[in-house]
Amino acid sequence: MSYSFNAGEVFKIAIQIEENGKRFYEQSQRLFENAGVKSLFSDLARQEVEHKAKFESLKAQLPPEATTSTVWDPDNELDQYIKMMADGHVFVSGKDLEERLATIKNTKDALNLAIEFEKDSVLFFLSLEDVAGAKDQELIKSLVKEEQAHLKRLTLELVRLKK
């Protein structure tokens, strides 16, 4: 059986991904002595909050038909499924996030994990464009560019640390 998410559901996933990213950046920046990386992760956490707000605004503007469930859900399990989809992304929430943070042994590990997250985010948000209306596609494209900028910043910092 195949299932297609409606636009409202996709935006819910995007919002949760941004929340998970913010949580990762906030918690992981506490692991470092390096002031430059702390500052970078603090700035990225702030930007994840901004992205979340943009997605919430887009979701609020969707017409009712874009948020009407496409499947019968008498037990209201869809929200749990959507959260699971977002949590399956590299930045997971709760206990899984703590487990991922525990694997970070140094700044390079954290940067590599953040790079992995940003790559997954770019791919997810590119797919989000497919369900968004023409008016919202430009905003989503701008968010993809911001995520790509995050990826570039993280990669440059990783290269700088390897020198």
CATH of the domain at 125: 1.20.1260.10
pLDDT tens by residue, the chain, 163 residues = 344 566 777 778 788 888 888 988 998 888 878 888 889 999 999 999 998 998 898 888 878 877 776 666 667 676 676 666 655 665 555 567 778 788 888 888 889 988 988 888 888 778 767 666 666 677 778 778 888 988 999 999 999 888 7
- Residue 117 falls inside a structural domain: yes
Instruction: Determine, yes or no, domain membership for 85.
Output: yes
Number of domains in the chain: 1
Phi, psi dihedral angles at 3 (to 5 degrees) = -140, 135
- Residues spanned by the domain of 90: 7-162
Three-state SS at 69: coil
> Looking at the domain assignment, is residue 19 inside a domain?
yes
Predicted TM-score of the model (pTM): 0.76
pLDDT in tens, 33-67: 888 888 999 999 999 999 899 889 888 887 887 77
Is 1 inside a domain boundary? no
The helix/strand/coil state of 46 is helix
Residue 102 belongs to some domain of the structure: yes
